[in-house]
Amino acid sequence: LLSLKLESRTKGKLQKQICQVVLDHFEKQYAVELGDAWTSVRDVLTHPFCWQYAVLLNKFSQSAELESTLRAKGYHPAFQGPLPYLPASLKCYIRRNPGRFPAQKHQAGKLKGYYLLNAASLLPVLALEVKDGEDVLDLCAAPGGKSVAMLQCAYPGQFHCNEYHDLRSRWLKQTIESFIPDPLINLITVSKLDGRQIGDLKPEFYDKVLVDAPCSNDRSWLFSSDVQQATLRLIQRKELSSLQFQLLRSAIRALRPGGSLVYSTCTLSKAENSDVINLVLSSCSDVVPVDMREMAKAVSQEFTFLGGTEQHELLVLPEKGRAWGPMYLAKLKKTSST
């Protein structure tokens, strides 16, 4: 009964917070870009009580009890299909029912057992295919979930997590301290550099680069409590694609020939997704797109993808029972020196 009361209170609270200015803007844009799919996507995005949360286990703080608790609560392992890349050490649990597993508080000197996240956030990590000994850059790493996930998959030679924004950089450091044990932490460099400059500072240094770019975060923007701030965000939204393009160019410079790059955002916006990738492909002769259809097929049980996209890109559309995303990702490979 108490949980029902809490849920109805949460429903009421979250329902009231929808920012009409943002919703109107999305209606105009996404009805055109997504067509009929927008109606069901909007239903999920505007009703947080149907959102789902995945539980990513921390292999550095393993607990058999945790896995049996998750199973008892109706969770099952995600990613059952024959994925091209799925390390056994990456364990993620999901369930069809909405709701969030209890979060763990940060305690200095104590590792957390799991990380709560949108299951679609793991797709860029799976697409990047990090192997032991590779030098890896997470260019826009805060809050750190994808960095933590990459370290569940492999032991990089050098692992560079960068976050330019001051507050988010502190958040990133705390996440890494909460999940990664001491000996491994020494392999991780956390920096606060302007991501647009890393390509010049570290040319052709990395085997793999993740660009989880700053974007219009559709889920959180819909619940902006400050209308003025929301309006300003929508005005500044037009400038994001330019920043994303510059970050990608920098990432390409930082990549070794033969290395791979994954670009991701948590927005549905075409201007910040395929338009940015198309601009990179048309202006950078040293990168080629990488086909991700095999990966998409292997995870089609868990995720709904927008149809009609290019073979090197995926856009996860949230729907009821599979309320993951929005998450856009595209994969590129560097062919030669710049």
Does residue 163 have a known ligand-binding role?
yes
C-alpha 250/C-alpha 160 separation (Å) is 15
- Is 50 a residue of the active site? no
Does residue 146 have a known ligand-binding role?
yes
Does residue 230 have a known ligand-binding role?
no
Check if the beta carbon of residue 161 is closer than 8 Å to that of residue 172. Answer: yes
Does residue 257 have a known ligand-binding role?
no
CA proximity to 214, closest of 177, 163, 167, 154: 163
**148 - beta bridge partners?**
none
Does residue 88 have a known ligand-binding role?
no
Strand segments (E) across the chain: 54-57, 76-77, 92-94, 114-117, 135-138, 158-162, 188-191, 206-212, 255-265, 287-289, 313-316, 327-334
Q: Which of 50, 92, 215, 266 is catalytic?
A: 266
Cis omega before residue 84 (within 30°)?
A: no
Helix (H) or strand (E) segment spanning residue 228: helix 227-254
C-alpha 107/C-alpha 278 separation (Å) is 44
Does residue 182 have a known ligand-binding role?
no
Does residue 202 have a known ligand-binding role?
no
Does residue 214 have a known ligand-binding role?
no
Return the active site residues.
Answer: 266
**What residue numbers does the annotated binding site for S-adenosyl-L-methionine cover?**
140-146, 163, 194, 212
**What residue numbers does the annotated binding site cover?**
140-146, 163, 194, 212
